[in-house]
Amino acid sequence: LNIDKLVRDYRASLIRHNYEKLLVEQLLDSTVTQQELAEFYELNKDQYQLKEPIVRAHFLQIPLSAPDLDKVDKWWKSDDPEDFKLLAAYCNTYATVHLLEDSSWYSLPTLASEWPVNLSVGNLAPGATLSRKDDTFQYYFRLIDHVPEKALAPISYVADQARKAILHKRKMGLLEDTKEQMYERSLRRNEVKIYQ
């Protein structure tokens, strides 16, 4: 066991890691266009099969002790955008859970765990609403869209994951290219000796 060699190797790996980190910070283009995202998604669809069903939905969990629950019920049933704004403002103050983004996808099992009884969307059409009450909370659920388990995930659901994969691939390419350029430059300067 050669302690000096281990220390030298560890020091060299730290220097290399910090150098690579600095290179990536300075040279990596971290912009991923929608077109790049779409192309990556198309080429890697097999990686994006859902392991659980997902939904786009509105979901509220409001304590029964919150004021003006009758207004919440009115706003929930209304199609008026102003009522939706009032509902959102109310939920920001009183709801323990409130999901009101139309474009966000959520894991159905995660939402179902918040619902007082078994929540299944298999027979629900988009736009269908449910409301329930238990001893503590009033619950509201509105289905916007549903994708079943084992189906292909929508690109919007996996966009962050795909973006990270694209950037990782770029990073690896940048580091490999830089290593190759440094090697070629060292060869030209006769700084590399090859033993056979």
- The verdict on residue 18 lying in a domain is no
Residues 6+ apart with CB under 8 A from 133: 64, 116, 139
Per the structure, the complete domain to which residue 133 belongs is given by: 49-145
Q: How does pLDDT run across 66-95, given as a tens digit for each residue?
A: 999 999 999 999 999 999 999 999 999 999
- The verdict on residue 181 lying in a domain is no
The count of structural domains within the chain is 1
- The verdict on residue 35 lying in a domain is no
Q: Indicate the residue type of 21.
A: K
Q: What is the 3-state secondary structure (H, E, C) of 175-190?
A: HHHHHHHHHHHHHHCC
Q: How does pLDDT run across 108-143, given as a tens digit for each residue?
A: 888 888 888 777 777 778 888 989 999 999 999 999
d(CA 87, CA 71): 9
User: In this structure, are residues 56 and 147 in contact, taking their beta carbons and an 8 Å threshold?
Assistant: no
- The verdict on residue 38 lying in a domain is no
* Proportion of the chain above pLDDT 70, given as a percent: 99
- The secondary structure of the chain as a DSSP string is --HHHHHHHHHHHHHHHHHHHHHHHHH------HHHHHHHHHHTGGGGB-SS-EEEEEEEEEETTSS-HHHHHHHHH---HHHHHHHHHHHHHH-SEEE--TT--EEHHHHHHHSSS----TTPPTT-EEEEE-SSEEEEEEEEEEE-TTSBPPHHHHHHHHHHHHHHHHHHHHHHHHHHHHHHHHHHTT------
**pTM score above 0.85:** no
Burial 70-83 (b: 16+ CB within 10 A, else e): eebeebbeeeeeee
- The verdict on residue 109 lying in a domain is yes
Which of the two residues, 193 and 109, has the higher pLDDT score? 109
Q: Indicate the residue type of 117.
A: V
CATH number for the domain harbouring residue 64 = 3.10.50
- The verdict on residue 58 lying in a domain is yes
pLDDT of the residue at 97: 95
d(CA 143, CA 145): 6
- The verdict on residue 84 lying in a domain is yes
Sign of CA dihedral 120, 123, 128, 134: negative
- The verdict on residue 87 lying in a domain is yes
Q: Indicate the residue type of 129.
A: T
pLDDT of the residue at 119: 72
